Structure 1
Amino acid sequence: MTLTELRYIVAVARERHFGRAAEACFVSQPTLSVAIKKLEEELDVKIFERGANEITVTPLGADIVQQAQSVIEQASAIKEIAKRGKDPLAGALRLGIIYTIGPYLLPELVRHVIDDYPQMPLMLQENFTVKLLDMLRTGELDCAIIAEPFPDTGLAVAPLYDEPFKIAAPSHHPFAQRESVSSEELKNETMLLLGAGHCFRDQVLEVCPEFARFSSNAEGIRKSFEGSSLETIKHMVASGMGVTVVPALSVPQQAQQHLRFIPFTAPVPTRRVVLAWRRTFTRYEAIAALRNAVHACRLPEVTFLS
């Protein structure tokens, strides 16, 4: 039994496909298949059920894959301990970040990390919260910047900042001349939302629960649209298709010709952004350095958390 074979079974369990797992491990499919067959013969168990179109993990195989992931992490920890003896920050840090934070935080965050911790390059992965949590669990990521709440996965969590929400409306909309708008007033508007899978969509629906149900006839609801990104939705708002709710960091610093951003009346809805990592991750100094780099960023209107 080798670490390479353990990495192969973890990859197959994740991808549910021998070809994709082989690509992820940078080996040919025959090489990966032969190695896994050898491991199954050595253990005298069947780890995977091989179907015509899908690979499934057997119940006993799931336990073996979980233990294999733990062994891989522990082996990696030995290398990290050795590195820390020379430089605790040496080596790349694999960072995940959700779509509604990445474009607005990463440009300045990466610059701070390059300036202050050049020996710790960031390897970035932008994705949905659920996918990032899965990648943390399987060891593909070291840490992730996400927004609460999220499913309890036994991760270590450090708060970064609280970020208020704002309303985006076309410049000709009555809201554009207001100093603030209540969430109650939004239920009479055409609301543009992010598509399913974005945690920010769920946070907006908590502020405006009327839009949780789609109906063209419901009182106070004309129609809801879904977009793939905040920037797409803001362009739709600017063209007069409706209004939306955005996080404060996504608000441009320069005035927009066809778009206005209006604060909420108190209590202002916010989201808490946190840094999460596996409790078995041993590079504590790297986590602290990343958190310091976030706090060194100029993030208008957010409240940094200690």
Structure 2
Amino acid sequence: MTLTELKYIVAVARERHFGKAADACYVSQPTLSVAIKKLEDELEVKLFERSAGEVTVTPLGEQIVQQAQTVLDQAAAIKEIAKRGKDPLAGPLNLGVIYTIGPYLLPDLVRQNITRTPQMPLVLQENFTVKLLDMLRAGEIDCAIMAEPFPDTGLAIAPLYDEPFVAVLPVAHPLAAKLSITSEELRDETMLLLGTGHCFRDHVLEVCPEFARFSSNAEGIRKSFEGSSLETIKHMVASGMGVTLVPRLSVPAEALKPKGRGRKDQDMVRYLPISDGQGREPPTRRVVLAWRRSFTRYEAIAALRNAIYGCELPGVKRLS
């Protein structure tokens, strides 16, 4: 049994395809297949069920693949220990970020990271929460910035900040002249949502559950109510198609200023804080940093958190 063989079975379990796994491991498919067959013969168990165009992991194979990933992590840790002896922060850090955080946090975070730890470049990956969790488990990324809640996968988690939601309305909307808006006032509006797969879509539906009627169901969501990104949704709002909620960091710096103090008269949308009064907190999402417990570069995680806290993060509540 070799580390290379373990790497191969982890790749096949992830890709569910021998050809794609071989490409990911930079070897030919016959080389990968022979190595896996050799390992199955040695263990005297079947790891994968092969059928036309599909590969599935056997129940026992699932346990072996999980243990193989742990072994690979520990083997990588040996190299990291040696590296940390020279410089605890040496080498790149593979960071995943969900789509509704990346565009608004990463530009400042990258600048902070270059200033503070230039020897630790960030290798960035934007994706959905579910995909980032898979990549964390597979060791393809070292850590990820995501919004709770997400399935408990045994990850180490450090809270970063609580980020309030902000309502976005067309500038000509009757409610756009208000200083703030309530959840109750949003209930009768046409809510524009991100497409299925975005966790922020689920967060909006938690705040305004009555909009679940627009969610994917037997009839499907009306296409005019879907958007591929928050910026796309904002343009849809500007055209008068409805209203939406966005996270605070996605709001342009000048957008919340009073008219005549940096706001442009030609702005097509208005951003309004949500205030329900009676001491109720506005709807928020909690943003966290998550990493595998077997990941040993503790100093790198701490440095990344410090870089995040070095960012401006306007309008959010920082968490220690």
- Tell me the matched-pair count: 300
Equivalent residues of 1:191, 1:223 under 8 A apart? no
Q: Which residue of 2 aligns with 1:290?
A: 304
Corresponding position of 1:218 = none
Q: Is structure 2 residue 282 aligned with structure 1 residue 268?
A: yes
Q: Which moved more, 1:229-238 or 1:257-266?
A: 257-266
CA distance in 1: counterparts of 2:114 and 2:128, whole angstroms: 25
Aligned: 1:196 with 2:196? yes
- Segments of structure 1 that go 5 or more residues without pairing to the other structure are 216-221
Residue 61 of structure 2 corresponds to residue 61 of structure 1 = yes
- Is 2:318 the partner of 1:304? yes
- Out of 286-295 and 149-158, give the one that drifted further: 149-158
Whether 2:46 is the aligned partner of 1:84: answer no
- 1:159-170 mapped onto 2 (5 Å cutoff): 159-170=159-170
- Give 2:219's aligned residue: none
Distance 1:112 1:295, change over 3 A: same
Cα deviation code 1:215-243 (max 9, x no counterpart): 9xxxxxx9971111101000000111110
Q: What's the TM-score, normalizing by structure 1?
A: 0.95
Q: Note if 1:120 corresponds to 2:120.
A: yes
Confirm or deny: 8 A CA contact 1:191 1:224 kept in the other structure.
no
Separation in structure 2 between the aligned mates of residue 43 and residue 279 of structure 1, nearest angstrom: 28
Aligned to 1:258: 268
Give, as a single letter, the amino acid of the residue that structure 2 aligns with 1:211: F
Amino acid at match of 1:13: A
- What is the percent sequence identity of the aligned residues? 77
Give the partner amino acid of 2:298: Y
Unaligned runs of 5+ in 2: 216-221, 255-262
1:218-237 aligned within 5 A: 225-237=225-237
AA paired with 1:128?
F
CA displacement at 1:44 relative to structure 2? 2.2
Superposed CA offset, 1:50-103 (max 9, x none)? 101101111221221111111101101111111111111011111111000000
CA distance in 1, matches of 2:214, 2:131: 26
Quote the Cα distance in structure 2 between the aligned partners of 1:298 and 1:71: 39
Return the letter of the residue paired with 2:194: L
Instruction: Specify the alignment match of 2:259 in structure 1.
Output: none
Equivalent residue for 2:174? 174
Contact 2:70 2:294 (C-alpha < 8 Å) held by counterparts: no
Deviates more, 1:35-44 or 1:171-180: 35-44
Q: CA deviation at 1:300?
A: 1.0
Kindly report structure 1 stretches of 4+ aligned residues shifted beyond 4 Å: none
Secondary structure of the structure 2 residue equivalent to 1:213: helix
Q: Distance in 2 between matches of 1:185 and 1:292?
A: 39
Is the 2:166–2:271 Cα contact (8 Å) retained in structure 1? Answer: yes
State the secondary structure of the residue aligned to 1:175. coil
CA distance in 1 between counterparts of 2:248 and 2:71 reads 42
Q: How many angstroms apart in 2 are the aligned matches of 1:148 and 1:62?
A: 27
Distance in 2, Cα, partners of 1:128 & 1:272 = 16
Distance in 2 of aligned mates of 1:147 and 1:78: 31
8 Å CA contact 1:8, 1:32 repeated in 2:
yes
Q: How far 1:210 sits from its partner (Å)?
A: 0.6
Instruction: Give yes or no for contact 1:190–1:223 (8 Å, CA) kept in 2.
Output: no
SS of equivalent to 1:100: coil
How far residue 299 of structure 1 moved from its aligned partner, in angstroms, is 1.4
Match of 2:292 in 1: 278
Aligned twin of 1:96? 96
Aligned residue number for residue 16 of structure 1: 16
Secondary structure at the aligned position of 1:73 is classed as helix
Work out the CA distance in 2 between the residues paired with 1:163 and 1:294: 14
Deviations 1:265-292, CA, capped at 9 Å, x for gaps: 1431111111011111111100000000
